[in-house]
Amino acid sequence: MIPDHQPWESSMGVGATEELSLRVSVASLAKVIFEHPQDGHAMLALERVATLRETEARRRVTVKAQPFGGAVRLRRASALRELIGDFHFDSPRSRAEGDFRVQIRPSDWEAVKRFCLEHLQDEDESVLEAGPERELAEEFADTLHIGLTSTQYRLKRMGVALEEAPVVTDFIHAAGSPTVRIYHVYHVDVLDPSLARAMLDNSARYTDQALQALALHDARSGGKGRANAVLALPVELVTRAYQAMAPEERDAPITVAGHLLHGNVPALLETVAVPKYQRL
């Protein structure tokens, strides 16, 4: 088995500096599609996440639906260091997990981009974890309390959505950092009808308000103030909602069927043009 990251990497630096001022986030996103058991419509499954955020001024729980998936793991950080020299992880959490959320010199971005695009296609995944399988298994266990197996779905690589213009991130562990992003996008066809029903039932069972209450309860119980569930919406409904907007507005969070969708959801939709994304 390939280790996710090397032991010496725990001593690497963390956080932005005056020199390491550009944050790079590399993630896999999964377009999870299943057939509605009653009407046969193609459904898009998203992860609906309730998160408690506290400031000196207020305490609130936000609920937002986002693609399944997550940070790609940098399995051999030495390969990146050999290319660009020193870099930092953006947070202690990213360093501990080996997540490709790093701070680099802005002048190194072109080299880092080529590095990522090359190694995301490596079948052996010795440098970068390319696929979403690990994240899918973890998130389905979290939302549905099931052990996802590879026989329940079919995976196909869709390509890359590249976001090169830096945007300030609201990622809780690195909030405020100018960030460029590489999304490695996959199509996931759910083959197991029982899994499709479980996602549909879970989506109907939990309201956003119920998730907010669960996140608050989690915080009171000593947790991180977090709760999640599935959100299942017709693909056509989501696509039409974005197509009705001006292209330059499609990268913002929007509300569909009463639910707030994360700004990266359009990265899943091939027929929705978003100016900030270069699709490769």
What pairing do the DSSP bridges indicate for beta strands 42-54 and 226-234? antiparallel
Tell me which residue range forms the domain holding 244. 7-279
Query: Could you tell me if residue 2 is inside a domain?
Result: no
Q: Do the domain assignments include residue 1?
A: no
Within-domain flag for 174: yes
Residue 72 in contact with residue 84, Cβ under 8 Å?
no
51, 85, 47: which is closest to 66 by C-alpha?
Answer: 47
Has residue 70 been placed in a domain?
yes
Q: In the numeric block, which tokens belong to residue 17?
A: 């500096």
Determine the pLDDT at residue 58: 73
**CA gap 106, 109 in Å, rounded:** 6
Domain total of the chain: 1
> What's the pLDDT score for residue 67?
97
Structural domain contains residue 26: yes
Exposed / middle / buried, residue 245 (Cβ in 10 Å: 0-12, 13-18, 19+): middle
Note the maximum CA span of the chain. 56
CA distances 119 to 12, 73, 228, 270, 271, Å, are: 22, 12, 31, 23, 27
Per residue in 207-225, pLDDT (tens digit) is 999 999 999 999 999 998 9
Beta bridge partners of 256: 259
First vs last Cα of the chain: how many Å apart?
30
* Residues 10-35 pLDDT 10s: 567 899 999 999 999 999 999 999 99
Domain for residue 57, yes or no? yes
What is the percent of the chain where pLDDT is above 90? 81
Cβ atoms of residues 165 and 276 within 8 Å: yes
Q: CB-based contacts of 103: which residues, under 8 Å, 6+ apart?
A: 15, 16, 17, 20, 21, 22, 23, 24, 87, 88, 89, 90, 177
* pLDDT, position 101: 95
Give the total residue count for the chain.
280
Q: Let me know if 104 is exposed, middle or buried by CB neighbors in 10 A (0-12, 13-18, 19+).
A: buried
In a domain, 204, yes or no: yes
- For 101-129, write each residue's pLDDT tens digit: 999 999 999 999 999 999 998 888 889 99
pLDDT for res 200: 97
Q: Answer yes or no: are the C-beta atoms of 162 and 113 closer than 8 Å.
A: yes
Tokens 């959100």 locate to: 231
Confidence at residue 1, expressed as pLDDT on a 0 to 100 scale: 37
